[in-house]
Amino acid sequence: MAGHAAAATPSTEQLQKEVEELKAAVQLLRQELAASRPKPVVAGNPPLSAEHVTVAPQTPTPASTAPQGDYATKADIDGIRGDLENYKYEQTRNRETKTALTTRGTTIGGTVAVRASYFNPATTGSSTPGAKARETSFDIASAQLNLSGSLYRDYAEGRNLTYRLALAYAQNVNSGLTTTAQSSGSQLNLTDAYLDYSFFPTTTGLEEDRLTVRFGQQQIPFGLEAQTSEELRPVINNAQFVNALGVGTRQIGVVFRGDFDSYVDYGFNYRAPLIEYAFGVFNGNGPNKADDNSAKDFIGRLAFTLPVDYNSVFRELKLGVSYLKGTGNLTRTVGTTTTTVASNNFTRRGFDLYYNHNPYGITYEYADGETDTLAGATGSGKTTIKSRGQYVTLYYQWGEQFLRSYRGQAKYDDWWPKTYQAFLRYDLFDPNTAVGNDQVKVATLGLNVFFAETTKLQLNLLRTFYQDPSMKNSTAVLAQFQYGF
């Protein structure tokens, strides 16, 4: 047995030979495996000349759907499953404990403006009458917080019901009736509180007509400037007529807005509604108040946009007219008793022109008003005051802030097109056309620097000219950071 066993035992040389053969086989298998694996992604560049290009066979090499290279083991898959379960748990836990939840989908937004000002001559405006005039000051010019979202979302056709609630900080402004010091507190006023409903489908495309109704407290659709939100208005201060004629105040009521016969240029995603319209009815006595009479104010606006291609020089050339008719109360105060003695009928008419052809643009707006007021110190006799205002703004911008496609380009970082916008405005207002020497002209030279998605620095140099010789012309420099969130 021992001899037989000895004969069966391979010699060292034979074993060495077998080992070498096995090594060669392993090497061959390794090479075959390497050849069958997908090539790693090539770092750098493709071959530089045609000689390096390996011409593919004449018939296509069908891409096998069978897996190549390494296989995942059960342990690998269990590992991935474990990671997935951990991720799901973390998401659920974080949503429950670390996320602000709302009953309905809500977007929280707002804008804040912080301002530094210089006045010459010094001013006491918005301060306690007894206060010293100031040449320089710092202010929180505005702070608004808004919530908006969907109450009902029509996925199929986009006839959505949405809402908006907005609150605005208001500085304590002394009324001038008291000489007591201003309180350090501030007010938070409701500015917007409304529902919006789209009657027409909004998902079909740009060519569809639009019609929405807005019910609640809202900005009325008069002209251009009054309807432009803070973050889009180039000038820090409103045109004079906006506040003087009361077309910039919020009102409570219902407004229908829509457009029809849009000129659509899908090659640029450009939509120019031939006619835009808005009609509304509201209380007329301003925001956050109960109505003070049965009469309602009525407003209407029509705008016409030239139906041309995006690439036309007449792109975004729009003409608009607005009309507002309202009725208020005229009161007299005797002692501590205030009595309504007559109705105050008023009308506002406006015409506007808007031309925005990046990088330059122009806006012009004219508005006049007729307002009844009590004549004399007693009685209910009335007289009508006619007012008139207009402004023109020219602007030019360097940068892509207002180019939607470029602004929306794909980026990894928090990139935004830095943009500079220079503008010049000339604003004229005559509070009573029957009275001489009461016109006020304001010339504004400004620069807006958009240096982040929702943040801009605004620099305005204002020169105010008073027709009244008793008033001294004034200069103001305003520097304001406005940020949105």
Partner 1 sequence: MKRFLALLGAFIAFATVLPAAQAQEKPSVIRIAVPNAGTGGRPLTTGLLATLHQTGAFEEEFKKDGIQVKWVFFPSAGPGVNEAFANGLVDFSGHGDLPLIVGRATGLKHHIIASYGRGGNQYLVVPSDSPAKSLADLKGKRLAVFKGTAGQLTLNRVLSRAGFSEKDFKVVNMDNDTTKAALATKDIDGTISTAPFDLEARGVARILETYVDDPTLTSPNTFWVSEEFEKKYPQIVQRVVTRLYRTAAWAGDEKNRDAQFQIWAKAGSTPYIDFKRSWDGQLLKDRLSPLLDEYYVAAIKKAIGEAKDFKLTRREVPIEGWIETKYQEVALKELGLQTYWAAWPAGGKTNSTSTAAR
Interacting residues with partner 1 (CB under 8 A): 38-42, 44-51, 53-57, 60-63, 65, 155-156, 203-206, 265-270, 309-312, 358-359, 400, 403-406, 408-412
- Residue 119 burial (CB count, 10 A): 19
Q: How far is the CB of 457 from partner 1 (least distance, A)?
A: 24
Q: How far is the CB of 92 from partner 1 (least distance, A)?
A: 20
Indicate the residue among 6 and 156 with the shorter CB distance to partner 1.
Answer: 156
What is the rounded CA–CA span in Å between residue 370 and residue 246?
12
Indicate the residue among 17 and 37 with the shorter CB distance to partner 1.
Answer: 37
Q: How far is the CB of 34 from partner 1 (least distance, A)?
A: 14
Could you tell me the end-to-end alpha-carbon distance of the chain, in angstroms, rounded to an integer? 94
Indicate the residue among 18 and 157 with the shorter CB distance to partner 1.
Answer: 157
Strands 134-152 and 106-123: antiparallel
Q: How far is the CB of 399 from partner 1 (least distance, A)?
A: 11
Q: Using CB atoms within 10 Å of the CB of residue 345, give its burial: 0 to 12 exposed, 13 to 18 middle, 19+ buried.
A: middle
Q: How far is the CB of 44 from partner 1 (least distance, A)?
A: 7
Indicate the residue among 13 and 51 with the shorter CB distance to partner 1.
Answer: 51
What is the rounded CA–CA span in Å between residue 306 and residue 319?
9
Please count the CA atoms within 13 angstroms of the CA of 452 that sit on its side-chain side. Answer: 10
Give Cβ neighbours of residue 238 (< 8 Å, ≥ 6 apart): 225, 226, 248
**Hey, what are 246's tokens?**
């009361």
Do you know the residue count of the chain? 485
Taking Cα atoms as reference points, which of 454, 451, 452, 462 lies closest to residue 423? Answer: 462
Indicate the residue among 16 and 204 with the shorter CB distance to partner 1.
Answer: 204
Taking Cα atoms as reference points, which of 82, 110, 50, 199 lies closest to residue 484? Answer: 110
**Hey, what are 358's tokens?**
């990046």
Q: How far is the CB of 152 from partner 1 (least distance, A)?
A: 14
Q: How far is the CB of 359 from partner 1 (least distance, A)?
A: 8
**Hey, what are 91's tokens?**
């998401």
Indicate the residue among 185 and 267 with the shorter CB distance to partner 1.
Answer: 267
Q: Which amino acid appears at position 305 of this protein?
A: T
**Hey, what are 307's tokens?**
């139906």
Q: How far is the CB of 213 from partner 1 (least distance, A)?
A: 23
Instruction: Enter the DSSP assignment of 127.
Output: S
What is the rounded CA–CA span in Å between residue 306 and residue 356?
12
What is the rounded CA–CA span in Å between residue 444 and residue 403?
25
**Hey, what are 57's tokens?**
């066979």
- Residue 82 burial (CB count, 10 A): 10
Taking Cα atoms as reference points, which of 124, 392, 366 lies closest to residue 245? Answer: 366
Indicate the residue among 272 and 478 with the shorter CB distance to partner 1.
Answer: 272
Q: How far is the CB of 141 from partner 1 (least distance, A)?
A: 32
Indicate the residue among 2 and 410 with the shorter CB distance to partner 1.
Answer: 410
Indicate the residue among 44 and 469 with the shorter CB distance to partner 1.
Answer: 44
Q: How far is the CB of 54 from partner 1 (least distance, A)?
A: 5
Taking Cα atoms as reference points, which of 447, 451, 449, 456 lies closest to residue 483? Answer: 456
Q: How far is the CB of 39 from partner 1 (least distance, A)?
A: 5
Q: How far is the CB of 271 from partner 1 (least distance, A)?
A: 11
Indicate the residue among 222 and 270 with the shorter CB distance to partner 1.
Answer: 270
Indicate the residue among 111 and 397 with the shorter CB distance to partner 1.
Answer: 397
Indicate the residue among 38 and 469 with the shorter CB distance to partner 1.
Answer: 38
Backbone angles phi, psi at 175, to 5 degrees: -75, -15
Rounded to the nearest 10°, the torsion over CA 150, 156, 159, 165 is 10
Q: Which amino acid appears at position 22 of this protein?
A: L
